[in-house]
Amino acid sequence: MIGFEEKVVPLDYWISQFVDMLVEGYRPFFQALKWPVEAIMGGMGQALLAIPPLLVVLVLAVLAWRTSGFKLAIFTVLSLIFIGLLGFWDECMITLAMVFAAVFFCILTGIPLGILAGRSDRFNGLLRPILDAMQTTPAFVYLVPIVMLFSVGNVAGVLATIIFALPPIIRLTSLGIRQVHPELVEAALSFGATRWQVLRRVQLPLALPTIMAGLNQTMMMALSMVVIAALIGAGGLGAPVVQGLNTLDIGQATTGGLCIVLLAIILDRISQAAGQSQ
């Protein structure tokens, strides 16, 4: 009989050696990857903090009103004012900058990959196990290699968030492209449309509601990483939750978590309404 008292496969050692090799040999490459994320997130954060709070409230309220209606606009105003009165306005703006930066890079990467997966069975077959691994791997597992490769801070938190939140938009973009009826594609091709024209004028418009649903899920998963990213030095609304956990301050942790919930409801309702209108 084979016993399992001793470790036979030193997988943990191999992984550690691989990451150490990446850190020692390819640090300039990873620092170059860090720069665009840092620039976009830093610019968004500075812009949101520089804008007067009442103007931010007004803009989000108008966006909520235009997409979902008057009730969501009132809820948005009251929620943002409540967050400001709790003293978490700056943290809220940093969280918004982190989420918007992560979602921007998820869109930039995920939609083209989803289109390729939707139009190629072979590429979809290759991509599926990678997406399965990304979605089933616990979020905390991403933190150690991210910190080793990119150090701590907001940028490391955004990069971990991108990895965690990327699969839904890829999957739902691929699903939306595949759900377009083949007869519509054949009709467009029979009228002389190129594959690019079929994609741009037939498949993408019909798949847009499904793509917007993927964007909504990506945004919600990005928000769910706020507290976890705070463990590696990312700021925002996750910081008071982690501080409350470390000091057993139930009040601070609860108020920070409540602000995250309110912000998540606002973004979820706005993105859902935008997808339904499409």
The pLDDT confidence band at residue 4, using thresholds 50, 70 and 90, is low
What is the overall mean pLDDT for the chain? Answer: 84
Q: What is the spatial distance between Cα 243 and Cα 246, in angstroms, rounded to a whole number? A: 5
pLDDT at 31 over 80: no
Cα separation, 127 vs 120, in Å, equals: 11
Write down the pLDDT at residue 74.
92
Q: Domain spans of the chain?
A: 25-277
Q: How far apart are CA 161 and CA 225, in angstroms?
A: 6
Q: What is the pLDDT of residue 170?
A: 92
How many angstroms separate the CA atoms of 247 and 2, rounded? 47
Position 266 pLDDT exceeds 70: yes
pLDDT recorded at residue 2: 61
pLDDT digits (tens, 9 = 90+) for 161-177: 888 889 999 999 999 89
Report the C-alpha gap between 79 and 266 in whole angstroms. 8
Work out the average pLDDT over 169-196: 86
Region 210-234: what's the mean pLDDT? 84
Q: Is the pLDDT of residue 180 over 80?
A: yes
pTM to 2 decimal places: 0.84
Tell me: pLDDT of 25 over 80. Answer: no
- Taking only the tens place, the pLDDT of each residue in 68-124 is 888 889 999 999 999 889 888 888 888 888 888 889 999 999 999 999 988 888 888
Name the pLDDT band for 240 (thresholds 50, 70, 90): confident
> Averaged over 192-211, what is the pLDDT?
85
Please tell me the predicted confidence (pLDDT) of residue 29: 79
* pLDDT number for residue 276: 67
Q: How confident is the model at residue 275 (pLDDT cuts 50, 70, 90)?
A: low
Instruction: Name the one residue in this structure whose structure tokens are 């967050």.
Output: 83
Average pLDDT over residues 184-191: 83
Given 3.30.465.10, 3.40.50.1820, 3.40.50.300, 1.10.3720.10, which CATH number is that of 25-277?
A: 1.10.3720.10
Contact 45, 92 (CB under 8 A): no
Cα 196 from Cα 131, distance rounded (Å): 26
DSSP one-letter code for 223: H
**Whether pLDDT at 278 is above 70:** no
Q: pLDDT band for 277, please (50, 70, 90 cuts).
A: low
What pLDDT shows up at residue 195? Answer: 82
